[in-house]
Structure 1
Amino acid sequence: MSLSAVIRKDVQDSVRSGALLASTLLFVLVAGFWAAIQHVPPIYGESDIPTSTLALLNSMGQPMAFFVPLLGLDIAYNSIVGERESGSIKLALGLPNSRRDIVFGKFIGRSIVLAVAILTAFLVVAVIALLTYESFAAVEFVLYTVMTVFYGLVYVAIGIGFSSTVNSQPTALAGATGLYVLFQLGWDAVTAVLQTVTVGWVPPESGPPDWVVLVYVLNPTAAMEYATQAIIPEFDAITAYPASDAFYLQEWVGFPILAAWLLLPLGFGYRTFARMEIR
């Protein structure tokens, strides 16, 4: 048994448990609903960008921002600690598997599950757009699909890394919940407090200080917005974030931030799991 065997077993377990089917159906329902309503925020009604393109990007932005992190953490947080508590991790390590195989095999396996869910849902969205939209921005759609998968893998990595470091499933669940709240609500609250303390509730025309903006961009969700804007300029029409001339706050900075959020939790989780005593 090797890394490929761990990946294969993890995907098969997800299929047998219904996790793959449930994840796919949920994402299809959420993404399909938002695509079907073709919503364009009123403030952007006068944009030069075709209404159908704005509707498409906005519709995809709704499930992406909130549902992808939830799904990524949900399928990953229990992946390793659950097997430790059940004792099955001993069997896996008794075979010719290293702890690195376990951590990275779980990451790849759960990433495949999430990618299948996202790609299936976006295929349904593409059909809806082709049948009901006045036009279909195919290039933008493909780029946004790739970015959404990448964004999902970041949260799978965070979940796997966290699962590798804790000792119980309740702790893993509480941690995953806390991380979701932090990234979706807490981070913006901290940024708002920093802005209020430094320049007031209403920022000056020049915008908040660059260091406050940097704190905001370090959130994976904000980094995703920046990275998407770098490759899909039309996305700027439905994305509001502070502008800055600082080189480290340009759109491209979203990519290294997302890469760091993917690699660092996995690396830390593996190092911790490698030293952990398995009882």
Structure 2
Amino acid sequence: MSLFPFHFRTYLFALAVALAFRAVVGERESGTLKLRLGLPATKRDVLLAELVSRLSLVVVTLLPLFVVLGVLMSSVYGGIPLVAFGLTAGWLLFYTSVWTTFVVGVSAAFTSPFRVLAAICGTYLFFSPVTRIWDMVVMCLFSLVFAGSLTIPSLNAAATGNSPAWFLYVEWLNPIHTLIWVGEWITSLKDTAVPMGELSLLFFSIGALVILGGGALFVGYVRFQRVDL
């Protein structure tokens, strides 16, 4: 994502956590949740209201930031590719919104803020390229299933197109990888034609990202419904 700072992905995840991790568990801890449920509102209403409010905060926070970044980059470099910049900003907004949905779901699933933070941070560390847990566990398991070996193809092989199809799809399952690669794909649109195979990977990875956020929200909703307040 050459149009934005490389480590922007870390700030986006941190923003989602900061804005949403107390969405439901904070209300439960303070006692205001019982008050709200005493009004003509269901647990589903509360969860949806919290989700909409947190997503609104994401939009209000990121849009001015994107405008400022665009103005600064335009003044420094004498102009920016507006279409690519707009698409990348939209992608980052969507990406952060999915993580926010995930965090709201986790917030609804647990009764303790510490458990919420532990689940969120554990999930991020699992996907993080720094810890390499994804490579050592998920990639090795898929390699064992598809190739009969725990040795996974190298990234150099992927870059030259010599890696098997399963490797690319499993790699693009990782939401942190998805953030970077979709951003790079957007910035490269003006230079190269897009192969259909790459488009299938793109939609596959975005679908996996949506399932991650929606799945967490659904699990949180189910657990929230079962809790006796």
Query: In structure 1, what is the Cα distance between the partners aligned to 2:198 and 2:14?
Result: 32
Q: Which amino acid aligns with 2:222?
A: R
Q: Are residues 78 and 261 of structure 1, via their aligned partners in 2, closer, same or farther at CA, if it must alter by over 3 Å? A: same
Q: 1:185 aligns with which of 129, 139, 162?
A: 129
C-alpha displacement at 1:126, in angstroms? 1.1
Q: 2:151 aligns with which of 198, 219, 229?
A: 198
C-alpha displacement at 1:200, in angstroms? 5.8
Per-residue Cα deviation, 1:189-210 (whole angstroms, up to 9, x for no partner): 4326626933465764554433
C-alpha displacement at 1:147, in angstroms? 0.7
Q: Are residues 262 and 100 of structure 1, via their aligned partners in 2, closer, same or farther at CA, if it must alter by over 3 Å? A: same
Q: Which amino acid aligns with 1:267?
A: F
Q: How does 1:93-132 map to 2 (within 5 A)?
A: 93-132=37-76
Q: 1:251 aligns with which of 202, 206, 209?
A: 202
Q: Are residues 235 and 269 of structure 1, via their aligned partners in 2, closer, same or farther at CA, if it must alter by over 3 Å? A: farther
Q: 2:175 aligns with which of 189, 198, 220?
A: 220
Partner secondary structure for residue 129 of structure 2: helix
C-alpha displacement at 1:233, in angstroms? 2.8
Per-residue Cα deviation, 1:135-193 (whole angstroms, up to 9, x for no partner): 21111111111111100011111111111111111111222222222232367443266
Query: In structure 2, what is the Cα distance between the partners aligned to 1:136 and 1:227?
Result: 19
Q: How does 1:1-279 map to 2 (within 5 A)?
A: 57-185=1-129, 188-191=132-135, 194=140, 197-199=150-152, 204=157, 206-228=161-183, 231-234=186-189, 250-278=201-229
Q: Which amino acid aligns with 2:68?
A: V
TM, length-normalised to structure 2: 0.81
| Identity in percent | 25
Partner secondary structure for residue 111 of structure 2: coil
C-alpha displacement at 1:92, in angstroms? 0.9
Query: In structure 2, what is the Cα distance between the partners aligned to 1:224 and 1:202?
Result: 17
Query: In structure 2, what is the Cα distance between the partners aligned to 1:235 and 1:250?
Result: 19
Q: Are residues 157 and 133 of structure 1, via their aligned partners in 2, closer, same or farther at CA, if it must alter by over 3 Å? A: same
Query: In structure 1, what is the Cα distance between the partners aligned to 2:103 and 2:8?
Result: 17
Q: Are residues 201 and 132 of structure 1, via their aligned partners in 2, closer, same or farther at CA, if it must alter by over 3 Å? A: closer
Q: Which amino acid aligns with 1:216?
A: E
C-alpha displacement at 1:272, in angstroms? 1.6
Query: In structure 2, what is the Cα distance between the partners aligned to 1:174 and 1:202?
Result: 31
Give 5+ residue unaligned stretches, structure 2: 144-148
Q: Which amino acid aligns with 1:269?
A: G
Q: Are residues 217 and 201 of structure 1, via their aligned partners in 2, closer, same or farther at CA, if it must alter by over 3 Å? A: closer
Structure 2 equivalent of residue 37 of structure 1: none
Q: Answer 1 or 2: higher relative contact order, Cα 8 Å, separation at least 6.
A: 2
C-alpha displacement at 1:223, in angstroms? 2.5
Does the 8 Å contact 2:2/2:187 carry over to 1?
no
Give RMSD over aligned pairs. Answer: 2.9
Partner secondary structure for residue 58 of structure 1: coil
C-alpha displacement at 1:219, in angstroms? 1.5
Does the 8 Å contact 2:27/2:33 carry over to 1?
yes
Query: In structure 1, what is the Cα distance between the partners aligned to 2:196 and 2:106?
Result: 35
Q: Are residues 109 and 125 of structure 1, via their aligned partners in 2, closer, same or farther at CA, if it must alter by over 3 Å? A: same
TM, length-normalised to structure 1: 0.67
